[in-house]
Amino acid sequence: MTRDSPTSYFPRWTLRTEGIIAPDERLPTGQTLALGLQHVVAMFGATVLAPLLMGFDPNVAILFSGVGTLIFFVLVGGRVPSYLGSSFAFIAVVIAATGYSGTGANANLSVALGGIVAAGVVYVIVGIIVVAIGYRWIDRLMPPVVTGSVVAVIGLNLAPIAVKGISATPLDTWIGVATIVAVGLIAVRAPGLAQRLPVLLGGLAGYLLYALFTNGLGLGKPIDFAGVAAAAWIGWPHLTAPSWSGQAMALIAPVAVVLVAENLGHVKAVSAMTGRNLDPYLGRAFIGDGIATMVAGMGGGTGVTTYAENIGVMAVTKIYSTLLFVVAACVAIILGFSPKFGALIMTIPGPVLGGLSIVVFGLITATGGRIWVQNRVDFSRARNLVTAAVTLTIGAGDLALRLGGFTLGGIGTATFGAILLYQLFRDGEA
């Protein structure tokens, strides 16, 4: 692999037509455009699902995922190949902060946006500290037993919402179950790159099945395409300004802890795949992701994070050129200016979303366990065992702490509890 000059802020992207394509290399223009579109498809399912579950406008979320990816690209000097999509870490706290019912638009969207901006600010501060003194302190403050517990808690906390989404009628339940099975079959048995798109393709299968039983056979509420027909192809997205609620910000801001752990893991994974030491860019990656989250929150978008889906695509293709993500970001921005595209997304039936939610929230929980396994967390040690046990129970039970006028929800309580408990028990064991 070629190396670009360390004196230049951006790489020079040497042309390469075969073999492994490094971050500072590029394919011919046509292939770059095609593979950039592939990354749009990879991020699409999850990036659209997250705003729907929170009552956000998916058009705006897609728009700001593209904007955020470009911000990240600039902050890391085009040297870390990553796409920034909607973060599922925000779902539980946004629902708690806004009292969202689970259907339609979120009436308290602006309150959630203020909290998302606050999370972005915390994230940027962490990034600045990492730039100044390195990232090893994160490992000491949030070792794998803590990060794994916090990640698992997010999925467990959301489980009742997912189950409720497929429980309204028997048809909803069976459509939800069929969607879950479709996602699983695609993830396990689909050939090639299709295996990397289980949420998108499984959701499409559930959508078509629901349309067959309702629009075709009249067994339930049919999908209404009137809004799609009436929507314009091109139009200005419906932006929303944040409002500033101290309680909502206190509830949502701790999500930055999860984003830090997520981004750290993703950058490490990309480093291993590309054979490049990306540690010097960690602080800038945090800052880029934090600023992108703040910008999204200022306009009505979801908080964003680096996407494992796109990392998976790179692992399969062995093409790591960062220019692909510029293409993907620009396509996402274009989609954000299409009301017809947004109207089509809004026709996704509730039980299909519920089935996808069960899979995604379950995967989040399982990811916490994977962090423990990969880092060989020793649960024979009381410090690790008690920290994880208390964190999981607090988060799953949604224990809220009331501090004066503020209420810290289950996710926030579990997050800070995990960090504090681990440090409190540190003196007892080496």
pLDDT, position 18: 81
Residue of 356, 314, 41, 305 lying closest to 151 (CA atoms):
305
Residue 83: its H or E element: none
Pick the residue with more confidence: 127 or 168? 127
Grouping H, G, I as helix, E, B as strand and the rest as coil, residue 177 is helix
Select, from the ranges 122-126, 152-156, 367-371, the one with the highest average predicted confidence (pLDDT). 122-126
Pick the residue with more confidence: 228 or 178? 178
pLDDT, position 127: 95
Distance in angstroms (rounded) separating the CA atoms of residues 254 and 233: 38
Report the pLDDT averaged over residues 161-175.
87
Distance in angstroms (rounded) separating the CA atoms of residues 166 and 357: 10
Asked whether residue 116 is domain-assigned, the answer is yes
Is the predicted pLDDT of residue 22 greater than 50, yes or no? yes
Report the pLDDT averaged over residues 219-224.
87
pLDDT band at 260 (very low <50, low <70, confident <90, very high): confident
Burial (CB < 10 A; 0-12, 13-18, 19+), residue 29, is exposed
- The angle at the Cα of 271, spanning 265 to 273, to the nearest 5 degrees, equals 105
Asked whether residue 382 is domain-assigned, the answer is yes
Distance in angstroms (rounded) separating the CA atoms of residues 317 and 37: 14
Reduced DSSP (H G I as helix, E B as strand, rest coil) percent helix, strand, coil of the chain, to 5: 70, 5, 25
pLDDT, position 300: 93
Asked whether residue 90 is domain-assigned, the answer is yes
pLDDT band at 2 (very low <50, low <70, confident <90, very high): very low
- C-alpha distances (whole Å) from 160 to each of 103, 167, 229 are 15, 11, 35
Render pLDDT for 379-395 as a digit per residue (tens, 0 to 9).
Answer: 999 999 999 999 999 88
Distance in angstroms (rounded) separating the CA atoms of residues 44 and 97: 26
Pick the residue with more confidence: 5 or 28? 28
Render pLDDT for 295-341 as a digit per residue (tens, 0 to 9).
Answer: 999 999 999 988 877 877 787 778 889 999 999 999 999 999 998 88
Select, from the ranges 81-85, 138-142, 192-196, 360-364, the one with the highest average predicted confidence (pLDDT). 81-85
Is the predicted pLDDT of residue 7 greater than 70, yes or no? no
* Residue pair 92/151 in contact by the 8 Å Cβ criterion: no
Tell me the one-letter amino acid at 78: G
Report the pLDDT averaged over residues 263-268.
81
Looking at the structure of the chain, the number of domains it has is: 1
Report the pLDDT averaged over residues 272-286.
87
Pick the residue with more confidence: 146 or 317? 146
Is the predicted pLDDT of residue 3 greater than 70, yes or no? no
Report the pLDDT averaged over residues 256-280.
83
Grouping H, G, I as helix, E, B as strand and the rest as coil, residue 304 is strand
pLDDT, position 331: 93
Mean pLDDT of the chain: 86
pLDDT band at 84 (very low <50, low <70, confident <90, very high): very high
Percent share of the chain, pLDDT over 70: 95
Question: Please, what's the largest Cα pairwise distance for the chain?
Answer: 65
Three-state secondary structure of 94-154: HHHHHCCCCCCCCCCHHHHHHHHHHHHHHHHHHHHHHHHHCCHHHHHHCCHHHHHHHHHHH
Structure tokens at 362: 């379950």
Tell me the one-letter amino acid at 282: L
Place of tokens 């960690």: 282
pLDDT, position 1: 44
- CA dihedral for 265, 266, 271, 272, sign (positive or negative): positive
Percent share of the chain, pLDDT over 90: 32
Asked whether residue 3 is domain-assigned, the answer is no
- The radius of gyration computed from the CA coordinates of the chain, to the nearest angstrom, equals 21
pLDDT, position 342: 82
pLDDT band at 417 (very low <50, low <70, confident <90, very high): confident
Place of tokens 């394919």: 27
pLDDT, position 83: 92
Render pLDDT for 396-405 as a digit per residue (tens, 0 to 9).
Answer: 888 877 766 5
Select, from the ranges 19-23, 27-31, 257-261, 291-295, the one with the highest average predicted confidence (pLDDT). 291-295
Asked whether residue 124 is domain-assigned, the answer is yes
* Residue pair 347/242 in contact by the 8 Å Cβ criterion: no
Phi and psi at 222, nearest 5°, equal: -75, 160
Asked whether residue 189 is domain-assigned, the answer is no
Range of the domain at 134: 15-171+220-428
Phi and psi at 18, nearest 5°, equal: -155, 165
Q: What is the DSSP letter of 194?
A: G
Picking from 118-132, 170-184, 253-267, 401-415, which range would have the lowest pLDDT averaged per residue? 401-415
The interaxial angle of helices 308-317 and 29-54, nearest 10 deg, is 150
